[in-house]
Every structure is written in C-alpha cells, then in structure tokens.
Amino acid sequence: MPGVLVRTVIVGLSIAALSIALYLTAISWGAADRPVGCGEESGCAEVLNSRWSVWFGIPVSLLAATVYVSLIGLMIWLPAVKPTRRGTMWFCVLTIAMVLLCATAWFVGLQVIYLQAICPWCMTEHALGTLIALAILSFHIGVAQYTQGQRNNFVRRSLVGPFMVAMLMIAQLVLGQAYGPFKEPQAERLEHDISGNVVGEGAQRTVSMLDGVITIRPNERPIIGNLNAAHIVVVMLDYCCPHCRTTHTYLKQALQRADNEFALVICPVPLNSDCNPFWKNTDPRFAESCSLAKLALAVWKISPTHFSTIDTWLFESAQPRKYIDALAYAQSLVDGKELAELLASATWLDTMIQENATFYEKSGAERLPVIAAPGLATVVGRPGSQDELDEMLRNELGVKFSN
C-alpha cells in the first residue's frame, strides 16, 4: 500500500485534474461559450465542438471526472480496508492508471494528428492524468521489484490484467464517440435588417447589406458566378478554417444547382493578426492565413477567370494547403513573374484584406464563415448540412434548385 506522501501526491493531482474536467463539463453544458483564454476560432472551440468531445451525448470530460473521483475515493479508502481486500482495490487503481495513459494517447493523438487543433485546457488535464498514472506505476513497479527481487515477469503479469481492462474501456469510449449520437454545432443568424438592396448592372452594380454596414461593388472583388445574377451572396472566410471549408463546398454545390440565380462574392478574412488589425491572438492553425488569402487575391487580380480554380483548390484538401504548395499551383495558373511582383508590392492586397476584415468586424460576427446577402438573415458559422443551407437560400432568397 502506498504511504501517506504517495497517496497525498496522487490525490492532489487528481483534484487538480478533476477541477479541469468539471470546468470543461460546465462549458459543454452551456455555462459559457468557451473556456477562458480560448477564442471562437481557437483550438479549444474546434476540439470541444467536435464529435470526439462527447460519448453518446455525454461530455467526455464528465467521464474523466468520474475516473478522478473514483481514484480519490480509492486512495482515501485504501488504508481503512482489510489487507485481504487491498489486492482487489489496488487492481482497480492500476486499471485507472492504464485508462489515464491510454486516454491520453487517444485524445492527444486526436488533437495533434486528426483535428490538428489543440485545446490547452484538455492538454493540461491529460498532462495531469499522465503524472497520476506515472506516480501509481512507479510505486507499483518499485514495490514489486523490492519484494520480488529481479522477477520482472511478475511486474509484467501484474499489469496485463489492468491493461486489458483499460483497453476494453477505451475501445468502448472510441466506439461511442465515433458512432454515438452527435448534434453538429448550429449556425447563428444575426438580427440585422435583411432588406438590403442591389442597384445597377454590370460593372456599376452595387450591393448593400447588414444595415448598410457592407456596401460593395461585386465587380471589384472576386466573384464566382454571373455578375448580373438575381442575388449576390457575400461570403467571408479563411482558407485555413475547417468550417469555412465545409461551408464553401455547400455553397459551390448549391451554386451549381441554382442555374445562375445567385453569385458568390468571396471576401477572404484571415484570422491572423499579421494582416487583420482586429484579430489579437493567432492560433497556430492560421499561421499561413494571410499568405494564402493574398495569393488567392493576387491570382484574381491577374486573371479573374482563374480565381474560382484556385479558390476551389485551396479548400479541396482535408487540411489547409501549405503556402509553398499553393504558390506553386498559382504559378501554374498565371504568369509567375507578374504574380511575384504583385505579392512583393502587397499594398493593394493589404488594403483589400483590411477592408474585408473591417466588414467582418462591423458585422458583429464572432466566427467564420459569414454568409450575407440582401434578403437573407446573415449566417454565422457552418450550416449543419447541405440541405440546411439550401433551405435558407430557397426560403429567404427564393432560389430554385434543380435536382
């Protein structure tokens, strides 16, 4: 049985981890929009809004809290039980240690490899869980070697059972996350006046929306579709934003089935403080947002007909394109020398991006993407599905879709 010092360390670490788990559970249940220190487009929001944050609708942080509570109870209760029962209780403690290690490997792998988004609060909890597991295993291995000499086979055999039970528990966790019910985050609708207006034709056409906050000439910005379409839909996005990627796909598919009833005006808004004066903290995922936005705009400036090509290409991959790859692709579309000169001068590109960022700031939205059009209640965030977006366009703009 571990002594007072070891049990105190394990209980102390468990209380700290339990506090974080309960805090994240409260966030999941709506106590706040997101944890302290995490912006809307931060890794926290991406991780905590993913299907991997719940198990059959239950926040995984609540499951973690039950593990820490159980461990605290075992550590407190252990000295009071009869020696004949301590073996069973210690088996439970070893199982919890294995669960913590396996869970850490699973959730850290999800964040680093799959989601490519980091939640600092989650990582802190995983770090505490790892320390707890190492404290338990270090004590167990040390005592086993002391009492059994050099019989390392005993150490291995004593850990096989807890490890197998832990793997079974983690397997159930993963299956529940992957196949259990999950409600996608809902897009927000802004309470702006939706009257707006579109005036003029061709190069003289002007679009006003969001209570006059946004007034643009579609001819002066990247546009996909017919400039004289009945409806002009403005989309603010970031080429590194995963929700923008999904929404962009929905919009392009809707455009293909709408028989030129609307056109898309693309307004890149990098969530990166290097070029966005309204953005304070840049998440590592958006490190190349400015460069990708400028590259797309530069291609449009040189050859408007090629903008749709690079715009689609930038969003085709499951993860954001690397700038070096995007630059090579852009050079295959337009003259490389002209492109280099435009990127080097940057004044026009900076001005365009700052105008887009100003639109975003004045809109009152707190996340991307943003979909705005005269007659449409502004959509903030990713629509839940293609059908949901189609329904918005059909009901509010009167867009008719082909089968």
DSSP state letters, 44-83: HHHHHTSGGGEETTEEHHHHHHHHHHHHHHHHHHGGGS-H
Query: What pLDDT, on a 0 to 100 scale, did the predictor assign at position 250?
Result: 95
Determine the Cα–Cα distance for residues 104 and 82; give it in Å rounded to an integer.
33
pLDDT band (50, 70, 90) for residue 389: very high
pLDDT class for 276, splitting at 50, 70, 90? very high
Please return the burial class of 134, using the count of CB atoms within 10 Å of its CB with bins 0-12, 13-18 and 19+.
Answer: middle
Please determine, for residue 151, whether its predicted confidence score (pLDDT) is greater than 60: no
Between 26 and 156, name the one with better pLDDT: 26
pLDDT for residue 93: 94
- Asked whether residue 144 carries a pLDDT value surpassing 80, the answer given is no
Q: Which of 236, 199, 226 is nearest to 215 (CA)?
A: 199
The single residue listed with the structure tokens 């270090």 is 138
Q: What is the mean pLDDT of residues 165-174?
A: 96
Give the residue with greater pLDDT, 187 vs 89: 89
Spell out the residues 6+ positions from residue 145 whose beta carbon is closer than 8 angstroms to its own.
152, 155
pLDDT class of 87 with cuts at 50, 70, 90: confident
Please list the residues that pair with 209 across neighbouring strands: 214
Q: What is the pLDDT of residue 101?
A: 96
| Residue 41 confidence (pLDDT) above 90 | no
314 contacts 326 by C-beta, under 8 angstroms: yes
pLDDT, the chain, mean: 89
Q: Is the link from the previous residue into 181 a cis peptide, with omega within 30 of 0?
A: no
pLDDT at 31: 59
Res 199 pLDDT > 90: no
- Better-scored residue on pLDDT, 298 or 142: 298
pLDDT at residue number 74: 93
pLDDT in tens, 308-324: 999 999 999 988 999 99
Contact between 198 and 374 under an 8 Å Cβ cutoff? The reply is yes
Average pLDDT over residues 210-234: 89
Q: HSE (CB half, 13 Å, CA atoms) of 182?
A: 19
61-70, 81-90, 251-260 — most confident range? 61-70
- What per-residue confidence (pLDDT) applies to 314? 97
Return the minimum-mean-pLDDT range out of 94-98, 113-117, 323-327: 113-117
Q: How confident is the model at residue 21 (pLDDT cuts 50, 70, 90)?
A: very high
In this prediction, residues 7-26 reach a mean pLDDT of 95
Residue 162: pLDDT band by 50, 70, 90 thresholds?
Answer: very high
* CA-to-CA dists, residue 212 to 151, 194, 304, 359, angstroms: 78, 10, 27, 10
CB atoms within 10 A of CB 213: 16
pLDDT at residue 1 greater than cutoff 70: no
pLDDT reading at 304 higher than 90 = yes
- For the residues 378-387, what does the mean pLDDT come to? 90
Convert 71-107 to b/e letters by CB count within 10 Å (16 or more is b): bbebbeebeeeeeeeeeebbebbbbbbbbbbbbbebb
User: Quick one: pLDDT at residue 234?
Assistant: 94
CA separation, residue 201 to residues 205, 219, 222, 286 (Å)? 5, 10, 16, 37
- Mean of pLDDT values over 85-111: 93
